[in-house]
Chains A and B, each alone.
Chain A
Amino acid sequence: MTAKTTILNLPEEEFVHPGSRACAGCGLGIAYRIGLKALGKNTILVVPPSCLTVLQGLYPIATTKMACINVTFASTASVASGVLAALRAMGRKGITVACWAGDGGTSDIGIQALSGAAERLEDFIYICYDNEGYMNTGTQRSGTTPFGAITTNTPILGKQQPKKDVPAILAAHGIPYVATSSAGYPLDLYDKIRKAKTIRGTKYIHILTPCPSGWGFQPKDTAKIGRLAVETGLFDLYEIEDGKFRLTGRSRSMVKKRELVPVKEYFMLQSRFQSISDDYIERFQKEINDRWKRYYNEFSQVS
């Protein structure tokens, strides 16, 4: 891959203007601002109902300056397929079509359309921002809510099932590019989107976007939480390119250093995990340790 982008050579043009309707400290806000810079002006966005719909503003005022079609909850990937078909049919070249959807719109109600589009290898970038719940409707559980997290419809015990592994589902479709990212590392996201733009076929990028309102932490801690998720080994940064898995960014450097921050630190900072028992934290830690043992074996040789 080409040289990594730094804060010094990040394009200055802004597509998300100040004063969006997102909550203070919204991880999506960070990812979206940087993500649109990476997508660039020549993009058509497809957005289903989610916190992003609200962030983008209420008619007739828009926070973002980019061609965008808002669509129904289940239809993101199909509408994007239609936009692509029209561009082909009309001979309009050089436009990137990108979906930007929440985890509910991706892992749950939108997964059928997304699976269909990925199987057809539609030439779009699908970006899922994962705030681990239906935040727009007030923090209900979604397929990607982690085990133990309290949401408004798992209000006492917390969710009793593990997080759905959406990148793995997309990878199983045999698409050319799957990547994960975190709002804690926006430049890593920038580079992954830039790379996705150079690849033909369906590209899927899954971003963990911490949500102070839904997860219960201080708005100032968004980046910290986004990094802790990676540094504890809970949420790994990787790419699957043409079927080949590789750790990237911070996760990659962690293989060399062989140091994982105890996952408890991540849980302790968020009130949504208040009812998770030490037993479960230990279980999580063991799962992480086992996975990372595999990573050490597999990847420590690779530079």
Chain B
Amino acid sequence: MQIIESGNVAAALGVKLARAQVIAAFPITPQTPLTEKLSELIESGEMKAEYIPVESEHSALSVCIGAATAGARTFTATSANGLLYMHEQLHWAAGARLPIVMCVVNRGVGAPWNVWNDHQDSISQRDTGWIQIYVNDHQQIIDTVIKAFCIAEKVNIPVMVCYDGYILSHTYMPFYLPDQELVDCFLPPHKSVYALDPEDPRNINTVTLPEARVNVHGVLAHGYMELRYLLQEDLRKSIHTIAEVEERYSEVFNREGGAYLEEYRCRDASYIAVSMGSLSFQLRVAVDALREKGIRIGVAGVRLYRPFPDKAISNALSHANGIIVFEKGMSYGYMGPLASDIKSALYGNVNGNRKLPFVHNYILGLGGRNIRTRDLIDALRNSCKEGESTHMSDTLKWSGLKI
């Protein structure tokens, strides 16, 4: 069945279909309609779940941490400063290996106050140990929320589903509503590795020493560093799990999607534009226009940002002469984080004497600054023309800046 709804409602319906059992949230623009919808679904009895209207985002994620440790399927959502306020708990949820799913409705962070879209909120949390997936449209929102629970519960790592504030959250688009029976078959009820249980008392997340120690039975238990190593190992392994989940989803629901990145006219492209979120769909329009002018260009939208699917990304990009990365976030004091990740992925793919493509980096759309397709076309045309002139490669470029 196809329906027309907002992106936030698409996310809420995904959470309902996934049969989340405990939901906790605190309002923040532009996430608010998502959690309003969930409370409406729960209060009306359409959805069976516990909704905890907490007093802050720190508590929202804390409720999820408690509920997930007790074995429930849990969900929360936030944006911008709400996500930053969760920071301590983001690390905790990943360190405790809890399969929590969260929607981040992307918004610029203060100061100064700004409620419009960019990616600085979730990008700045990339090193917390969460899986981060960026989506491009309403269909991907609802599908990815369902897949996220599946991934999280397979690898015991929390997942963020990131989508653009307003551009996706508040616009109305048609999308297919997955069938509940199929979702139930795709996503069976959650069974956690250990659910807090007085019959099997364990003391969880105790102080863990620098060195590994033996337990009372004389068996060597993990130290802090081993636990952290395993988080990294499991995150890297989850790259495969995520592709498997994607494949199963497309089998069950008959919808194709790229687990790692979505390529558009890339196969024969000499130049590839790269971005995350809805911007990659806007870039397709720019690419079409340039193709008409005879420029062989394509666009790759990165969907999986952490763990970074470096092999898949460098395989998809390294054949090009140039890569032009458009980003709505910054690693202040350096460059766009996606650009620097792509550069490092390409370095890992150096083979023989083949020349690596140049990488240009545009920062744009911060705090909701309008991104005109005309500006994208100009930027791409310039980059293709200038090629690898050192002047271009070394400088970070800001598009749409009026200074």
**Interfacial residues, chain A to chain B (CB-CB below 8 A):** 41-44, 46, 53-54, 56-62, 64-72, 74-75, 77-90, 92, 95, 112-113, 115-116, 119-120
- Are the CB atoms of B55 and A82 closer together than 8 Å? no
- Are the CB atoms of A44 and B198 closer together than 8 Å? yes
- Are the CB atoms of A82 and B62 closer together than 8 Å? yes
Binds A, one of B1-9, B209-217, B364-372: B209-217
- Are the CB atoms of B213 and A61 closer together than 8 Å? yes
- Are the CB atoms of B58 and A113 closer together than 8 Å? yes
**Interfacial residues, chain B to chain A (CB-CB below 8 A):** 21-22, 24, 49-50, 52-56, 58-60, 62-72, 74, 88-89, 92, 195-198, 200-209, 213-216, 221
Q: What residues of chain B lie closer than 8 Å to A57, measured between beta carbons?
A: 203, 206
Q: What residues of chain B lie closer than 8 Å to A89, measured between beta carbons?
A: 21-22, 49-50, 67, 72
| A81 with B63, Cβ < 8 A, contacts A41-B198, A67-B202 known | yes
Q: What residues of chain B lie closer than 8 Å to A95, measured between beta carbons?
A: 198
Q: Give me 10 other A-B pairs in contact (C-beta within 8 A), A71-B92, A84-B66 excluded.
A: A61-B213, A62-B206, A67-B200, A72-B92, A75-B62, A78-B60, A79-B63, A86-B50, A86-B195, A113-B55
- Are the CB atoms of A83 and B203 closer together than 8 Å? no
- Are the CB atoms of B202 and A59 closer together than 8 Å? no
- Identify the 5 closest CB pairs spanning chains A and B, nearest first: A82-B66, A116-B55, A78-B62, A86-B70, A86-B72
Which of B55, B56, B71 sits near A86, CB closer than 8 Å? Answer: B71
CB distance from A224 to the nearest CB of B (A): 31
Which of B50, B60, B71, B205 sits near A88, CB closer than 8 Å? Answer: B50
Q: What residue of chain B has the Cβ atom nearest to residue A47's Cβ?
A: B203
Q: What residues of chain B lie closer than 8 Å to A65, measured between beta carbons?
A: 201
CB distance from B358 to the nearest CB of A (A): 44
A-B contact pairs, 23 of them (CB 8 A): A41-B198, A43-B198, A44-B198, A54-B207, A58-B207, A59-B213, A66-B198, A66-B201, A67-B196, A69-B196, A69-B204, A71-B205, A72-B88, A78-B24, A78-B54, A78-B62, A81-B54, A82-B69, A86-B50, A88-B50, A89-B21, A89-B49, A92-B70
Main secondary structure of the interface of A (DSSP, over half): mixed
How many angstroms from the CA of A77 to the CA of B195 in the assembled complex?
A: 19
- Are the CB atoms of A72 and B197 closer together than 8 Å? no
- Are the CB atoms of B69 and A69 closer together than 8 Å? yes
- Are the CB atoms of B53 and A120 closer together than 8 Å? yes
- Are the CB atoms of A90 and B21 closer together than 8 Å? yes
Q: Which of A70, A75, A115, A116 has the most CB of B within 10 A?
A: A75
- Are the CB atoms of B205 and A74 closer together than 8 Å? no
- Are the CB atoms of B197 and A86 closer together than 8 Å? no
How many angstroms from the CA of A120 to the CA of B54 in the assembled complex?
A: 8
Which of B24, B206, B209 sits near A53, CB closer than 8 Å? Answer: B206
Q: What residues of chain A lie closer than 8 Å to B221, measured between beta carbons?
A: 59-60
- Are the CB atoms of A83 and B206 closer together than 8 Å? no
- Are the CB atoms of B52 and A82 closer together than 8 Å? yes
CB distance from B35 to the nearest CB of A (A): 15
CB distance from A275 to the nearest CB of B (A): 34
How many angstroms from the CA of A229 to the CA of B221 in the assembled complex?
A: 44
CB distance from B153 to the nearest CB of A (A): 15
Q: What residues of chain A lie closer than 8 Å to B54, measured between beta carbons?
A: 78, 81, 116
- Are the CB atoms of B204 and A113 closer together than 8 Å? no
- Are the CB atoms of A78 and B58 closer together than 8 Å? yes
CB distance from B164 to the nearest CB of A (A): 29
Q: What residue of chain A has the Cβ atom nearest to residue B223's Cβ?
A: A59
Q: What residues of chain B lie closer than 8 Å to A112, measured between beta carbons?
A: 55-56, 58-59
- Are the CB atoms of B70 and A70 closer together than 8 Å? no
